Amino acid sequence: MPTTPGSLREAAALIEQKALSPVELTRACLDRIASRNERLRAFITVMAEQALADAARAEREIANNRYRGPLHGIPVSVKDLVDIAGTPTTSGSAVPPRRPQHDAPVVSRLRAAGAIIVGKTNLHEFAYGTTTDETAFGAVRNPHDDSRSAGGSSAGAAVAVLDGMCYGSVGTDTGGSIRIPAAACGITGLKPTHGEIPVDGVVPLSTTFDHVGPMARTVTDTAVMFQAMLEAEASWTRVPPAAEGPLWLGVPGGYFLDKLDTDVARLFLSARGALEAAGHSISDVSIAHAARTPDVYLAIMLPEASWYHAPLLRDYADKYSPGVRLRLEMGRRVLAEDYLRGMHARSVLIRSVDRALEGLDALLLPGLAIAAPPLGASSVEINGITEPIRSAMLRQTQMFNVTGHPAIAMPCGTGQDGLPRAIQLVGHRGATERLLAVAAAVERQIAGGAGSVGGGAG
């Protein structure tokens, strides 16, 4: 058995050449899960038997020259907020799980593309948090430092990819829940344009802001996962190649740069410098009303989350994590007037981001304002000022849930504390594939930074 491939692309190439057995690859991932999950708690449910059966079928198909594409025989994981037929959807909670009879469409599409689902990953309870230390299945630990959070809410999905337990993960993102753990762990995570990937079969948090998206080690790996989640099939010829020629990028200032830890600021400036040195044009831009984002987000997200949970709170209030329960109770008090005010403000923010993007390929900003925080932390100090942990972690990401623009977080280096830091690129609405092409080009310039898990474009 050769050394396990480092990326989805490498694994896919070996499988296509029939130089790597999907069964052996799946078994290697399951062995990795068995040896590491007790400590890291990335998985809630491991689907070993089904995964090996699916891998054996993939192997037979490939041997008979019925190769489906780059995801054929590749082990992937699914956040346990997403329905898989015959497997409970726990949502990371002690509240009785959903027991779905059908796969969520995003899961069906991955299966149709030949992916092997190895299990369901741990998450912040009901996706309602950024640290994944409120979960009925034990806090997810960051492999870079297991006293640290892996972010959230899709922490298990991020850790599963980082730690070699699978080659791609399905996450969800309502305020940053793909991009935050991607940044905290040093992998890549994409929030597509709102509505692009169906959220049917996914436990909702806030229907106006919920997105489903892929997480993987590199932009190319993420792009092929996205393609399969979009179209139920994948092909290297249709993965967008890295954008050619000079890029036009805009850095939004003010709100997005005001509160960053020292290493985030340093590595972001370093990434900006590397891109400018490579010939790309980077300008400073302004997003009007950006500072209103947290208030708009709360006015909409809180009541939408509470609406879904109202029947569950009647019977199972004591089953929720205390913090999640309190936030749900809080949301039930938001008046319709304020919710509608938030929805109007959302339309203003959408136009603000559209205007900021005019003439640009993408916006460039830090992906997460801080390093992965210690497990259990409720606040963080940023340049001498104490901030609540949730608002600090949501600051860079939540605006693009409000507006629905596609956004991708990618590693840009390692801080002096040994923890990864990330940048984020934001693209035009409806142009997620163009954003992936831009991201692939950017990755070439910054992927050489220390701590870049992908080790380069590929």
**Binding positions for another protein, rule: CB under 8 A:** 289, 292, 294-296, 298-299, 302, 322, 326-327, 329-330, 333-335, 338, 341-342, 344-345, 348
Q: Which is nearer to another protein, 53 or 330 (CB)?
A: 330
* Min separation Cβ 331 and another protein, Å: 9
Dihedral sign computed on CA atoms, order 403, 409, 412, 416: positive
Task: Say how far apart CA 414 and CA 396 lie, in whole Å.
Answer: 18
Confirm if 369 and 392 have CB atoms less than 8 A apart: yes
Q: Which is nearer to another protein, 166 or 299 (CB)?
A: 299
Task: Say how far apart CA 183 and CA 421 lie, in whole Å.
Answer: 6
Which entry of 21, 153, 154, 452 is annotated as an active-site residue? 153
* β-bridge partners, 281: 248
Annotated catalytic, 177? yes
* Min separation Cβ 241 and another protein, Å: 40
The H or E element containing residue 385 is strand 385-388
Confirm if 94 and 136 have CB atoms less than 8 A apart: yes
Which entry of 21, 79, 93, 352 is annotated as an active-site residue? 79
Annotated catalytic, 153? yes
User: What six digits make up the tokens of 63?
Assistant: 């041997």
Cis (ω within 30 of 0) for the bond into 379? no
Which entry of 21, 91, 177, 321 is annotated as an active-site residue? 177
* β-bridge partners, 422: 411
* β-bridge partners, 283: 250
* β-bridge partners, 169: 77, 215
Q: Which is nearer to another protein, 245 or 311 (CB)?
A: 311
* Min separation Cβ 345 and another protein, Å: 5
* Min separation Cβ 332 and another protein, Å: 9
Q: Which is nearer to another protein, 225 or 349 (CB)?
A: 349
Q: Which is nearer to another protein, 299 or 440 (CB)?
A: 299
Confirm if 446 and 277 have CB atoms less than 8 A apart: no
DSSP secondary structure letters along 338-349: HHHHHHHHHHHH
Residues 6 or more apart in contact with residue 159 via CB below 8 angstroms = 40, 42, 121, 140, 141, 142, 143, 150, 165, 181, 185
* Min separation Cβ 290 and another protein, Å: 12
Task: Say how far apart CA 410 and CA 443 lie, in whole Å.
Answer: 8
* Min separation Cβ 325 and another protein, Å: 9
* Min separation Cβ 323 and another protein, Å: 9
Residue in the block written with tokens 């791609």: 168
Residue 372 CA, distance from chain mean position: 15
Confirm if 282 and 272 have CB atoms less than 8 A apart: yes
Q: Are strands 145-149 and 141-142 parallel, antiparallel or unpaired?
A: antiparallel
Q: Which is nearer to another protein, 136 or 330 (CB)?
A: 330
Annotated catalytic, 452? no
Q: Which is nearer to another protein, 49 or 337 (CB)?
A: 337
Catalytic residues: 79, 153, 177
